[in-house]
């Protein structure tokens, strides 16, 4: 198995078991994954409170220190007053109102810095102690590099809203959110790679086609996240607040009003919301069919994980419908955050399930 081969050198040198070598690394990766999930939720709060443009500079080091005096607060506020969002949306806002949106954006950035430290320092310590399995270091360094790139992507997104518009580019928002989910998925996958294999199961009941369907679910859920970012960036969730119909029809008019036709997929609010709905239905039906497939397996672990995945998808769809129906002029912040956080949980479960079924001794 992948794990046993990767830790053989470390185990031989220390006399420890696979489980002893892997546990600290696995717990660390899952702890960072939880922090990334929290980051996704805080990012959602930053967006829903329209706080993302309150800090108009990117200062990776000294930006960790918030304004500490009235003079510093006024300086930050004066910089905010120079961007279009202030003049067109928040003209005349008070300093106290500015502080409220500033703290959301500062918290989002600070949590990003904290995640970087929480990943980099333990990685360095594990490296010095020789606890990183052979062939695993470059994977962890890749995640660290991707995390650094994510910080730059975040600023690239914010920068799009500082000059000619009052919000960020929905394309850059999708890139930023998609990268966050990619990091989350990698952390879960690598943590599971460090789990000692259970070689007690020798049943030929998990087919390659079952694994392919699990992969398809991960892909579709990631696509759904990107579509959700487009919905958020275009504020498409504030239109067609009925379900299951849109404007009185299951397939609404106006899906292809932009030219060229493919532009509708990215910029037509009707098409974007319709696509988000359709992918949700497809994901649910595929997850249901996948669970039916798994019922014939003698590996109880994949039955449990596929059942949990279907339940999580159903709950997430319910949250999405509830959020849509109650969105009258603005998205209810509690439901909006639950829906974004729920998406992260569903995606993490899908990656966990994919790893479990891919490594099942029952696979043939």
| Residue 183 confidence (pLDDT) | 98
| Residue 62 confidence (pLDDT) | 85
pTM of the model: 0.91
**How many of the other CB atoms lie within 10 Å of CB of 17?**
12
Q: What is the mean pLDDT of each run of 10 residues along the chain (364 residues)?
A: 43 48 91 98 95 93 91 96 94 95 96 97 95 92 97 96 93 98 98 76 65 96 98 93 94 94 96 97 97 82 93 97 91 95 98 88 50
| Residue 209 confidence (pLDDT) | 87
Q: In Å, how far from its chain's centre is CA 205?
A: 32
Tokens of 228: 């959700």
| Residue 208 confidence (pLDDT) | 84
| Residue 300 confidence (pLDDT) | 81
| Residue 246 confidence (pLDDT) | 94
| Residue 2 confidence (pLDDT) | 43
Q: Give the chain as a 3 state SS string.
A: CHHHHHCHHHHHHHCCCHHHHHHHHHHHHHHHHHHHHHHHHHHHHHHHCCCCCCCCCCCCCHHHCCCCCHHHHHHHHHHHCCCHHHHHCCCCCCHHHHHHHHHHHHHHHHHHHHHHHHHHHHHHHHHHCCCCCCCCHHHHHHHHHHHHHHHHHHHHHHHCCCCCCCCCCHHHHHHHHHHHHHHHHHHHHHHHHCCCCCCCCCCCCECHHHHHHHHHHHHHHHHHHHHHHHHHHHCHHHCCCCCCCECCECCCCCCCCCCCCCHHHHHCHHHHHHHHHHHHHHHHHHHHHHHHHHCCCCCHHHHHHHHHHHHHHHHHHHHHHHHHHCCCCCCCHHHHHHHHHHHHHHHHHHHHHHHHHHCCCCEC
Tokens of 233: 């960036």
Using alpha carbons, list the distances in angstroms from residue 295 to 238, 290, 357, 362. 40, 9, 13, 13
CB of 251 closer than 8 Å to CB of 275: no
């Amino acid at each position: 198995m992948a794990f046993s081969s990767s830790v053989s050198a470390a185990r031989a040198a220390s006399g420890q078991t696979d489980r002893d070598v892997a546990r600290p690394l696995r717990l660390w990766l899952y702890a960072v994954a939880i922090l990334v999930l929290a980051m996704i939720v805080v990012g959602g709060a930053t967006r829903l409170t329209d706080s993302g443009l309150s800090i108009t500079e990117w200062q990776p080091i000294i930006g960790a220190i918030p304004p500490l005096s009235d003079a510093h607060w006024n300086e930050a506020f004066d910089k905010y007053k120079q961007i279009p969002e202030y003049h067109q949306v928040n003209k005349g806002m008070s300093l106290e109102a500015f502080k409220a949106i500033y703290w959301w954006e500062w918290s989002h950035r600070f949590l990003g810095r904290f995640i970087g430290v929480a990943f980099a320092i333990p990685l360095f310590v594990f490296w010095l102690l020789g606890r990183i399995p052979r062939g695993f270091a470059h994977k962890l360094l890749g995640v660290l590099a991707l995390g650094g790139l994510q910080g730059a992507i975040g600023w690239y997104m914010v920068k799009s809203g500082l000059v000619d518009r009052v919000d960020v580019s929905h394309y850059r928002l999708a890139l930023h959110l998609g990268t966050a989910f990619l990091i989350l998925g990698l952390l879960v996958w690598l943590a599971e790679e460090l789990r000692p294999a259970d070689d007690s199961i020798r049943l030929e009941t998990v087919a390659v086609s079952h694994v392919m369907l699990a992969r398809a679910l991960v892909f579709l859920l990631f696509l759904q996240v990107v579509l959700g970012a487009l919905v958020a960036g275009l504020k498409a969730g504030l239109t067609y607040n009925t379900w299951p119909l849109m404007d009185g029809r299951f397939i609404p008019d106006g899906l292809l009003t932009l030219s060229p036709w493919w532009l509708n997929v990215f910029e037509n609010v009707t098409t974007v919301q319709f696509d988000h709905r359709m992918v949700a239905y497809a994901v649910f039906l595929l997850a249901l069919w996948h669970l039916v497939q798994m019922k014939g397996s003698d590996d109880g672990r994949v039955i449990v994980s596929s059942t949990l995945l279907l339940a999580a998808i159903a709950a997430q769809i319910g949250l999405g419908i509830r959020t849509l129906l109650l969105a009258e002029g603005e998205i209810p912040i509690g439901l909006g955050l639950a829906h974004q956080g729920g998406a992260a949980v569903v995606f993490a479960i899908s990656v966990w399930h994919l790893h479990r079924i891919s490594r099942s001794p029952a696979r043939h």
